[in-house]
Amino acid sequence: MATTLALAASISPGLCARSEPRRLPAAPAPAQLRRQAGRAVTVRRAAGTQTMVTEALTQEEFEVMLKEQPATLVDFYATWCGPCKLLASHMSKIEPEYAATVRFEKIDTTKNYELAKHYRITKLPTLLLFQGTEQVDRIEGVLSAQDLDLRLRSKLQLH
C-alpha cells in the first residue's frame, strides 16, 4: 500500500488524464449559406483545410452537390469519433494535391442520419468517392495519407 501511495505521489499531475486542463474548442470557421432545392444549407470550411463541412442535407440536395464537381470524396463522420479525427488529419495532408480535381466534403452522420442510412453507413469513418452522382469507391476505417492518395489515384486514374 505504501509503495502504491509513493508511486502515485511521484507521478506528475500533468500526466494524469483527469488533471489535464480543459481545452476550449477552436473558433468555428465562418459559415456561408448554400441554396439548394429552394432551401438554405449551412456550409463551413473545416479548420485549416479546403474541406467543406455541410451541416444538414436531404438526399436531393446531396445529389445536386455531387453534380457540381466531376469527383467528390465524402467523409461520413461523427464529432465524437476518434478514428474520424485521425482520418481527417490524413485527408488534410493530401487535399491540396487534389484541389483542382476532387472536392472534399464532410457529412456529420448525427445531423444527416437519413443520408447516412441511404448510403448504408454502418462504420465510422466511411469515405465514399463519387464521379458525378455515381459511387465508385467505398473506404471504411482509417487509411494513412499515402494509402488514401494511392487509392484515389487508382480510382480516378490519375498519374
The 8-class DSSP code of residue 24 comes to P
Q: How confident is the model at residue 2 (pLDDT cuts 50, 70, 90)?
A: very low
Dihedral sign (CA 67, 69, 71, 77):
negative
What is the C-alpha separation between 8 and 28, in angstroms, rounded?
39
Domain boundaries, the chain: 30-156
CATH class for the domain made up of 30-156: alpha beta
pLDDT tens for residues 36-84? 333 434 444 454 555 667 666 788 989 998 998 899 999 999 999 999 9
Backbone angles phi, psi at 112, to 5 degrees: -125, 55
Taking alpha carbons only, the member of 137, 121, 133 closest to residue 78 is: 121
pLDDT for res 18: 36
User: Which residues does the annotation mark as catalytic?
Assistant: 81, 84
pLDDT tens for residues 76-116? 999 999 999 999 999 999 999 998 899 999 999 999 999 99
pTM (predicted TM-score): 0.68
